Amino acid sequence: MESKSNEQNVIKLCQPDMERGTNLMCALANRKSIRTFKNKPLELQDLSDLLWAAKGVNRPESGGMTSFNSLGKKEVDVYACTPNGACLYCAEEHSLIPVSESNLIPALAGGQDYVMNAPLVLLLVATILYSTVSPEPMKSTLAPLDTGIVSQNIALFCAANTLDTVARGTMDVDTLKRELKLKDSHCLLLNHPVGYQE
């Protein structure tokens, strides 16, 4: 993951609260797409724990993460987008790096108006790896697979902690790529509006 901002602006996140949330079976029982959101920004602890659940480091000695990732390359980046701008989640530092001051939520909504009410949208960006070790058709499936795994972590965290979310493929990819200065090798497949229940 490339650092795109100077260190002064980095937002240090809270340590994950390991005691929170319902158990896994309750989270699975509660998981569903919810498309209504309270108009309230997420508390820093909630945002911190959500990002850690998505792809945080859970084994500091090896850098291992909460989500499976193909070839151990950790190729899914998570952008936290609010009306005030966008930040890139740095799992290694458990911090947020500001990368844009633009409100990207209209581009993330891509015409689905309910997204405009979300205080936060997580954008999952996979880097397509042209690995010599993985055979076709594996190469082209790694990015969608890794994106889906991070998405499921987000969905289960939300279900366990009474946060509303939905996995979405709809978005204005060209605008997002331009605003976030992404490359052709970056693959935008899913985003998650997240908010408190109304």
Ligand X SMILES: Cc1cc2nc3c(=O)[nH]c(=O)nc-3n(C[C@H](O)[C@H](O)[C@H](O)COP(=O)(O)O)c2cc1C
Residues at the contact surface with ligand X, assessed by CB under 6 A: 32-33, 35, 112, 166-170
Between 145 and 182, name the residue whose CB sits nearer to ligand X: 145
Least distance between ligand X and beta carbon 167 (Å): 5
Q: Which residue is nearest to ligand X (CB)?
A: 170
Between 13 and 121, name the residue whose CB sits nearer to ligand X: 121
Between 50 and 190, name the residue whose CB sits nearer to ligand X: 190
Least distance between ligand X and beta carbon 115 (Å): 8
Which helix (H) or strand (E) segment is 106 a member of?
helix 105-109
- Token digits of residue 5: 């901002």
CA 30 and chain centroid, separation: 20
Least distance between ligand X and beta carbon 112 (Å): 6
Between 166 and 187, name the residue whose CB sits nearer to ligand X: 166
Tokens 């005030």 — which residue? 84
Is there a contact between 106 and 174 (Cβ–Cβ < 8 Å)? Answer: no
How far apart are alpha carbons 190 and 51 in whole angstroms? Answer: 15
Least distance between ligand X and beta carbon 71 (Å): 22
Check residue 135 and report its DSSP letter.
Answer: P
Least distance between ligand X and beta carbon 170 (Å): 3
Sorted by sequence, the CB contacts under 8 Å of residue 60 that are 6+ apart come out as none
Is there a contact between 22 and 160 (Cβ–Cβ < 8 Å)? Answer: yes
Between 112 and 175, name the residue whose CB sits nearer to ligand X: 112
